[in-house]
């Protein structure tokens, strides 16, 4: 795939989810996102108002995370987080699936939680992080199927807080187990242009990375 770097920028969620991220880090993140034309800036909920303000004169979307990074919050907590995030200006929501419920086979709980959050999102994009490093291939497939039934827009590989990030194999498996209108976001461990292109060729429509500038420079 011969994808020029300006095109590639449109796939990238320019991300800073470090626990100690500072205001100046977010200011730099937003400045870079506007300069390079990234799809979105992904930040902790705390920084949504600042990010909205900094991106107001651009097409770059405000993205945040819900139930992050473990996914173990109650559904009610995740719903409240989502409601507040949207009120404050989030345009895209990346939620973490309840990994324990999924691996214990509580599929109705998992599907219902995602569905409720999607209903809260309305026309905002919902990406569901399934945290592939903790799942068998069968569980990854099941998670994607549940996300499809629940109405999610994307399935996403990883938070970046577990021991393993996105792989080409996982992206292909996830793409195979969603409907054609849904998309895959590959995230964590993608640090070079070559890494990003491999993920896109495997079926990813969005790339989550903190190395966006390096990738497109």
Q: Are 190 and 196 in contact (CB under 8 A)?
A: yes
Pair type for strands 61-66 and 40-43: parallel
Q: Are 149 and 113 in contact (CB under 8 A)?
A: no
Crossing angle for the helix pair 137-150 and 107-121, to the nearest 10 degrees: 40
Active site residue 175: no
The backbone torsions φ and ψ at residue 170, rounded to the nearest 5 degrees and listed phi first, read -65, -40
Q: Which of 156, 175, 183, 198 is catalytic?
A: 156
Those residues whose C-beta lies under 8 Å from the C-beta of residue 214, and which sit 6 or more positions away, are 191, 192
Q: What is the SS3 assignment for 134?
A: helix
Q: Which of 94, 170, 175, 198 is catalytic?
A: 94
Q: Where are the beta strands (DSSP E) in 25-130?
A: 40-43, 61-66, 92-96, 125-129
Q: Are 133 and 97 in contact (CB under 8 A)?
A: no
Q: What is the SS3 assignment for 166?
A: coil
Q: Which of 127, 140, 175, 185 is catalytic?
A: 185
Active site residue 94: yes
From the list 60, 122, 115, 117, the residue with the least C-alpha distance to 94 is 117
Residues marked active site are found at: 94, 156, 185
């Amino acid at each position: 795939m011969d994808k020029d770097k300006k095109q590639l920028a449109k796939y990238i969620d320019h991300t800073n989810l470090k626990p100690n991220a500072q205001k100046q880090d977010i200011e730099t993140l937003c400045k870079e996102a506007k300069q390079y034309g990234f799809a979105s800036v992904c930040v902790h909920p705390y920084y949504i108002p600042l990010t909205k303000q900094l991106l107001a004169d651009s097409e770059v979307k405000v993205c945040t995370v819900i139930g992050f990074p473990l996914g173990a919050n109650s559904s009610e907590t995740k719903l409240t987080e989502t409601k507040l995030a949207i009120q404050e200006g989030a345009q895209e929501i990346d939620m973490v699936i309840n990994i324990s419920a999924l691996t214990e086979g509580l599929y109705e709980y998992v599907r219902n939680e995602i569905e409720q959050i999607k209903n809260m999102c309305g026309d905002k994009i919902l990406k569901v992080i399934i945290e592939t490093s903790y799942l068998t291939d069968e569980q990854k497939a099941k998670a994607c199927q549940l996300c499809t039934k629940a109405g999610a827009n994307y399935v996403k590989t990883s938070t970046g807080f577990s021991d393993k990030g996105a792989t080409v194999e996982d992206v292909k498996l996830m793409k195979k187990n969603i409907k054609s209108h849904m998309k895959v976001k590959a995230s964590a461990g993608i640090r070079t242009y070559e890494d990003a292109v491999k993920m896109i060729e495997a079926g990813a429509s969005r790339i989550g990375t903190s190395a966006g500038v390096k990738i497109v420079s």
